[in-house]
Amino acid sequence: MSWVEYFLFQIYPYLCLSIFAIGCWARFDRSQFSWRTESSEFLERKTLKWASNSFHVGVLGLMMGHAAGLLTPPQLTEMLGLSAHAHQMLAVGAGSVFAFFAAIGGAGLIYRRVFNRRIKATSRPTDLFILLFVYAQLWLGILGLPHSMMHSDGQTMEILGEWCRGVLTFRSGLPNLLATIPWVYKLHLVTGMTLFLLTPFTRLVHVISAPIWYVFRPGWQIVRQNHHVANDET
């Protein structure tokens, strides 16, 4: 184990999570107005409609799939009657579907951000950078699919899951778990951790904000348009 591997897979995760937690708290406390998606829908709507929906469906599906697949202990999946092989094949199948939607939508968003003059003129450098970074992270995951299909015994997924759970339980010797893992998975882990580090400084903060409280509001303000009255007056 080299010192680079020790830093990346033993120290770097906690560095990223610490900056993520403290940075998000500080930004919300000091600059709540900047905590938004900064939508550009009013500048261009046609491409955004299908690209954004496809991208977000894919990314949210991948996020939930990664959380469920990597953080669920293997003992629980065995209790549910799911073998390691079946667990990995389920992850590959579902991940491929969501990755397809995310890749198509992400390509549309990048094209829109680069080639639409109005969007480009109002974009900050970090907007395109973070979009390209997320898209690169997506493709690193896609590049790992062939290995997962050729080695379908589930061992790779169990090792990655053990590493993720080890980070959350503050285990030592985490880099040793990844000794047999291909480089594409290791790079995928590093870029994934880097996304946590970048979140407080970009528009990615909107990922951890959702207007759930709207659903539980005690009352609603309903606005109706009376087209008949408007037509009679004109």
Contacts for 61-64: CB closer than 8 Å, 24+ residues apart = 61/94, 61/97, 61/98, 61/101, 61/102, 62/95, 62/98, 62/99, 62/102, 62/138, 62/141
Helix pair 155-168, 46-71: axis angle to 10 deg: 90
The answer to whether 56 is a known ligand-binding residue is yes
Residues 38/117, Cβ–Cβ less than 8 Å: no
pLDDT of residue 15: 98
The answer to whether 66 is a known ligand-binding residue is yes
The answer to whether 206 is a known ligand-binding residue is yes
pLDDT of residue 43: 82
pLDDT of residue 227: 61
Pick the CATH number of 3-233 from 3.40.50.10800, 3.40.50.1980, 1.20.950.20, 1.10.3720.10: 1.20.950.20
Q: How is residue 233 written in tokens?
A: 């007056």
Closest of 75, 189, 97 to residue 140, by C-alpha:
189
Q: What is the residue-level pLDDT of the chain in tens, covering all 234 positions?
A: 789 999 999 999 999 999 999 999 999 888 887 777 777 877 888 899 999 999 999 999 999 999 999 999 988 988 888 888 898 999 999 999 999 999 999 999 999 999 999 998 888 889 999 999 999 999 999 999 999 888 888 889 999 999 999 999 999 999 999 999 999 999 999 999 999 999 999 989 988 876 666 667 666 666 666 666 555 555
